[in-house]
């Protein structure tokens, strides 16, 4: 047997990909599966963006580029972020990566020493906890509770901050709960950490997918840009998951270190994808608006449908494209339930524990699927639960 490095025992994973593989195996045997597990828009990438990529290939953007990203894209992102958040951002604060995920990995690798504490949302995107533990940091969960509309409790957060706290991760709108941090709470969080030796990693990947009110970012709170890493990308807003394009905005000296990590790993992000990323930000935004309108319609269908099923209760999320219903009244734990829904009902969903121990008692459904499929999924869930 190959002896793996000790650190590999601390690396977690993202279960969505495992459930997807199980679902595909069932499909290979002739079963139909309604896919409500994977977090990716089912829309095509808008046409103007696809066209820009083809043009970039023909123009020769097929070579290595600078590790931190194509200068024109870094400039476009700097302008976009300055405009959105009212904070002056320079291109040397921007690092472009293959998807936004490497920003998490690189930031934690660059900043967290063994024993340092990192506060992260739980239930939350599983990669946070995984990478914190991988580097030997101490993962400190801030529990997001249903009774709090899955928003962080500010007093609880205050109690978790210690002299060892080096990083606070926030994610709004949140995966898996769809929870959104209010401006009031963001200001309170900023007041709590401002001027301390704590970096805030704000995962704003769902910032365009919001149904009520506006999205706020801690990045725009007074003086916070100098201790914040803003993570964002193209996967969700522009239906570009497979293109692998994301970015981080951070203080320039940290950006240099992150670019160095990129030199040591990916070398750079795909050059023609980056050129398409310029068009995505500068071109018409109506495709984004249309997608969000459609997501809102689907959200309403799935929330109403789930609440009509005995044993399930579901809050109406304010952002992202996930619901996180409480399934404790079904009599099964969430892992058993997800398994039976897949094997017996042909519906792929994720158990809440895929998002950390505090996701126990919940399932996550992604509604990035057609209304027809969502309705078929709901009928299958009802039928499976009735026959338990």
Binding site for ligand PLP (CB under 6 A): 39, 99-101, 125, 171, 175, 203, 205, 233, 235, 241, 246
CB of 178 to ligand PLP, least distance (A): 11
The CA-based diameter of the chain, rounded to the nearest angstrom, is 59
CB of 103 to ligand PLP, least distance (A): 8
Tokens at 349, concatenated = 């969903």
Strand partners, 138: 117
CB of 28 to ligand PLP, least distance (A): 25
Nearer to ligand PLP, 277 or 305 (CB): 277
Nearer to ligand PLP, 37 or 279 (CB): 37
Q: Cα–Cα distance between 309 and 337 in angstroms, integer? A: 14
Tokens 């210690």 identify what position? Answer: 162
Nearer to ligand PLP, 80 or 385 (CB): 80
CB of 170 to ligand PLP, least distance (A): 10
* C-beta of residue 381 within 8 angstroms of C-beta of residue 309: yes
Nearer to ligand PLP, 185 or 241 (CB): 241
Tokens at 173, concatenated = 């709108």
Nearer to ligand PLP, 39 or 123 (CB): 39
**Residue 365: CB partners within 8 Å, gap ≥ 6?**
36, 37, 302, 306, 322, 323, 325, 349, 377
Q: Is 316 helix (H, G, I), strand (E, B) or coil?
A: coil
**CA dihedral sign, ordered 207, 210, 215, 218:** negative
HSE-CB of 290 using CA atoms within 13 angstroms: 11
Nearer to ligand PLP, 229 or 378 (CB): 229
HSE-CB of 293 using CA atoms within 13 angstroms: 6
Count of Cβ atoms closer than 10 Å to residue 358 Cβ: 18
CB of 385 to ligand PLP, least distance (A): 27
Nearer to ligand PLP, 14 or 346 (CB): 14
CB of 169 to ligand PLP, least distance (A): 10
CB of 59 to ligand PLP, least distance (A): 25
Find, among 286, 365, 260, the residue nearest to 321 by Cα: 365
């Amino acid at each position: 047997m190959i002896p793996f490095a000790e650190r590999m025992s601390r690396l977690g994973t993202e279960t969505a990909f495992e459930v997807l593989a199980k679902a595909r195996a069932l499909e290979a045997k002739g079963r139909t599966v309604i896919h409500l597990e994977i977090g990716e828009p089912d829309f095509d990438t808008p046409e103007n963006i696809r066209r820009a990529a083809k043009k970039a290939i023909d123009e020769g953007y097929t070579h290595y580029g600078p590790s931190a990203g194509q200068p024109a894209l870094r400039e476009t992102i700097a302008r976009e972020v300055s405009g959105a958040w009212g904070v002056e951002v320079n291109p040397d604060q921007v690092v472009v990566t293959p998807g936004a995920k490497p920003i998490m990995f690189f930031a934690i690798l660059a900043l967290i020493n063994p024993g340092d504490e990192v506060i992260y949302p739980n239930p939350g995107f599983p990669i946070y906890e995984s990478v914190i533990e991988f580097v030997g940091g101490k993962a400190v969960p801030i529990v997001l509770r249903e009774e709090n509309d899955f928003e962080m409790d500010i007093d609880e957060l205050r109690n978790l901050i210690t002299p060892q706290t080096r990083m606070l991760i926030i994610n709004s709108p949140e995966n898996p709960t769809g929870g959104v941090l209010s401006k009031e709470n963001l200001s309170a969080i900023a007041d709590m950490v401002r001027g301390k030796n704590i970096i805030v990693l704000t995962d704003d990947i769902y910032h365009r997918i919001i149904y009520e009110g506006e999205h706020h970012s801690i990045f725009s709170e007074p003086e916070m840009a100098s201790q914040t890493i803003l993570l964002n990308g193209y996967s969700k807003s522009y239906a570009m998951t497979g293109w692998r394009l994301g970015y981080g905005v951070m203080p320039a000296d940290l950006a240099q270190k992150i670019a160095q990590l990129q030199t040591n790993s990916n070398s750079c992000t795909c050059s023609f994808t980056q050129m398409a990323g310029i068009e995505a930000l500068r071109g018409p935004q109506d495709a984004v608006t249309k997608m969000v309108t459609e997501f809102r319609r689907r959200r309403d269908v799935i929330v109403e449908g789930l609440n009509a099923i005995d044993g399930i209760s579901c809050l109406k999320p304010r952002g992202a494209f996930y619901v996180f219903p409480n399934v404790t009244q079904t009599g099964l734990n969430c892992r058993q339930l997800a398994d039976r829904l897949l094997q017996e009902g042909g519906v792929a969903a994720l158990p809440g524990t895929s998002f950390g121990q505090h996701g126990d008692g919940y399932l996550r459904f992604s509604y990035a699927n057609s209304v027809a499929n969502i309705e078929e999924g709901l009928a299958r869930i009802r039928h499976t639960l009735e026959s338990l």
